[in-house]
A and B are shown apart, each in its own frame.
Chain A
Amino acid sequence: MKPAPFDYVRPGSLEEALQALAGHPGAKVLAGGQSLVPLLSMRLAAPAVLVDINDLPDLDHVRVSADGVRIGALARHAAVLRDPDVARVQPLVPLALANVAHATIRNRGTTVGSLVHADAAAEMPMVLRLLDGSLDVAGPGGRRTIPVAELYVGPLESSLHHDEIAVEAFFPALAPHTGVAFEEIARRHGDYAMCGVAAVVTLDGDRVVQARAGYLSVSDVPAVIDLTDALGGEVTEASLAAAADAALEQLEPETDIHATADYRAHLARVLTARVVTAAHENAREARS
């Protein structure tokens, strides 16, 4: 099928783009189009106006500092993935991005677009939540920072207002004595996962002082669970089983055409143990 008719504007400044959005309640932002165009073609969305932000200057950046990684709204997944400074400062970002779609789609799709799109099956919204990052947005009233805790409000729903444009995402740097890991199960590498889990584990000496895991494609919004208490300070077969139990108590896996709730629960359990073990291992290596 083909998209329904719409008016198209391709502004050359952020001010013009914001004006175009403000003038039309039925307007939508077009970034990489890798999620939006299929929705238009299937006529699941029919905005009156598309505001193509691909010509906005200054949004095509990836900036890395000791604090973390700042990703502009026009930075394509592929550019973020191949940036060696990103990998050094927050290795979870490329670990997850390598699983976002296929290379051809990563060449066009933007990381910020994926964050706004708020798909619970997508990697980056979950990673932003797990790392406690934020999203900067510009609107008619100026710029504001949305902490990730306030960003995801429902299935495919972020808390951006319709007249706001996301300009930059912030992923905090890896903390000292900390390790990360990511793993997902998909039918084919590059497809949306049936379940994916990431972990962040922090040590003090030999003791695990913090452990959190993020889950994608398990519930209808990206989920993050604190496993610190369940692990009880160490990573053993018993503590991993306790952590997986604790996670599954809070997650409510869903059934869909790709996998049953039981199978998702099984995957979440197996992957929790794997990524916590791997993140723990990374944290120990970082220490030595």
Chain B
Amino acid sequence: MTEQTHEIRLNVNGVEHEAAVPARRLLSDALRHDLGLTGTHVGCEHGVCGACTVLVDGQPMRSCLMFAVSAAGHEITTVEGLARPDGELGPVQQAFRECHGLQCGFCTPGFLTTITAGIAENPDPTEDEARDMVAGNLCRCTGYQNIVKAVCRAAELARADEDGAA
């Protein structure tokens, strides 16, 4: 049996991509294999680890729990889309570097996307709120302390951006 493919258009990081995928292609695999955007990582493939988290219309979602065909028509942001337009690190990336929020980096793309949406919703999180923000993401290396610090620092950097822009 040959499997039917669907022609889809995916808007990722503001760029329209076309791909022909079988219905069962997970969004995470479409990003990595069909579009070559390997920043999105795949750990557990059943929604538990959070490594594959991307933003769908600005909200963090598991790309391993969505089919690429279902994602057509939505705006997807992956970790590749978090840098500033001039290529400098975005606030969450900058904060991870300053606070040593990563070690091996496997979990990092999922944390960066989750936190980007988290501080957009809550621009001044307490430490507890920062902890809750990342509670759905697993990291095997860091012990989370520096990730929580990075959330607070990222919020600070993002607020400074806002003030600068205003």
A2 to B118, CA, bound (A): 30
Task: Among A2, A3, A38, A103, find the residue whose CB has the most chain B CB atoms closer than 10 A.
Answer: A103
Tell whether, in the assembled complex, residue B61 and residue A104 are in contact, meaning their CB atoms are under 8 Å apart.
yes
Whether A7 is near chain B, meaning CB under 8 Å from some CB there, is yes
Q: What is the minimal beta-carbon distance from A100 to any residue of chain B, in angstroms? A: 12
- Interface extent on B, as a size class? 20 to 34
What chain A residues lie within 8 Å of B53 (beta carbons)? 104
| Pick from A1, A4, A5, A34: contact of B47, CB under 8 Å | A34
* Total number of residue pairs linking A and B with CB closer than 8 Å: 89
A212 to B23, CA, bound (A): 45
A272 to B59, CA, bound (A): 36
Tell whether, in the assembled complex, residue A6 and residue B61 are in contact, meaning their CB atoms are under 8 Å apart.
no
What chain A residues lie within 8 Å of B29 (beta carbons)? 2
- A52 with B45: in contact, given A2-B24, A103-B136 (CB under 8 Å)? no
| Pick from B26, B65, B133, B135: contact of A108, CB under 8 Å | B65
Tell whether, in the assembled complex, residue B47 and residue A38 are in contact, meaning their CB atoms are under 8 Å apart.
yes
A38 to B46, CA, bound (A): 5
Q: What is the minimal beta-carbon distance from B110 to any residue of chain A, in angstroms? A: 9
What chain A residues lie within 8 Å of B46 (beta carbons)? 37-38, 41-42
Tell whether, in the assembled complex, residue B132 and residue A189 are in contact, meaning their CB atoms are under 8 Å apart.
yes
What chain B residues lie within 8 Å of A6 (beta carbons)? 23-24
| CB nearest neighbor in B for A2 | B24
Tell whether, in the assembled complex, residue A38 and residue B136 are in contact, meaning their CB atoms are under 8 Å apart.
no
- A188 with B135: in contact, given A5-B3, A37-B66 (CB under 8 Å)? yes
What chain B residues lie within 8 Å of A30 (beta carbons)? 67, 70
What chain B residues lie within 8 Å of A50 (beta carbons)? 23
Tell whether, in the assembled complex, residue A52 and residue B70 are in contact, meaning their CB atoms are under 8 Å apart.
yes
Per DSSP, chain A at the interface is loop
- A54 with B23: in contact, given A38-B47, A41-B46, A104-B50 (CB under 8 Å)? no
Q: What is the minimal beta-carbon distance from B51 to any residue of chain A, in angstroms? A: 12
A103 to B133, CA, bound (A): 8
- A34 with B45: in contact, given A10-B70, A107-B59 (CB under 8 Å)? no
Per-position 1/0 for B133-155, Cβ under 8 A of A = 10110000000000000000000
| Pick from A33, A38, A101: contact of B67, CB under 8 Å | A33
Enumerate A31-78 residues with CB–CB distance to B below 8 Å. 33-34, 37-38, 40-42, 50, 52, 54, 78
Whether B130 is near chain A, meaning CB under 8 Å from some CB there, is no
| Pick from B61, B67, B133: contact of A8, CB under 8 Å | B67
Whether B97 is near chain A, meaning CB under 8 Å from some CB there, is no
A34 to B48, CA, bound (A): 10
Tell whether, in the assembled complex, residue B69 and residue A10 are in contact, meaning their CB atoms are under 8 Å apart.
yes
A80 to B125, CA, bound (A): 22
Whether A18 is near chain B, meaning CB under 8 Å from some CB there, is no
What chain A residues lie within 8 Å of B118 (beta carbons)? 103
| Pick from B4, B62, B70: contact of A105, CB under 8 Å | B62
- A5 with B45: in contact, given A37-B64, A104-B53, A105-B136 (CB under 8 Å)? no
- A4 with B24: in contact, given A38-B46, A104-B114, A105-B47 (CB under 8 Å)? yes
Tell whether, in the assembled complex, residue A33 and residue B3 are in contact, meaning their CB atoms are under 8 Å apart.
no
Q: What is the minimal beta-carbon distance from B106 to any residue of chain A, in angstroms? A: 17
Q: Top 3 closest A-B pairs, CB basis? A: A102-B136, A8-B23, A38-B46
Could you tell me which B residues sit within 8 Å of A by CB distance? Answer: 1, 3-4, 6, 22-24, 26, 29, 45-47, 50, 53, 56, 59-62, 64-67, 69-70, 114, 118, 132-133, 135-136
Could you tell me which A residues sit within 8 Å of B by CB distance? Answer: 1-8, 10, 30, 33-34, 37-38, 40-42, 50, 52, 54, 78, 101-105, 107-108, 188-190
12 contacts between A and B (CB under 8 A): A3-B26, A5-B1, A5-B24, A7-B4, A8-B69, A37-B26, A37-B65, A41-B45, A78-B59, A108-B61, A108-B62, A189-B132
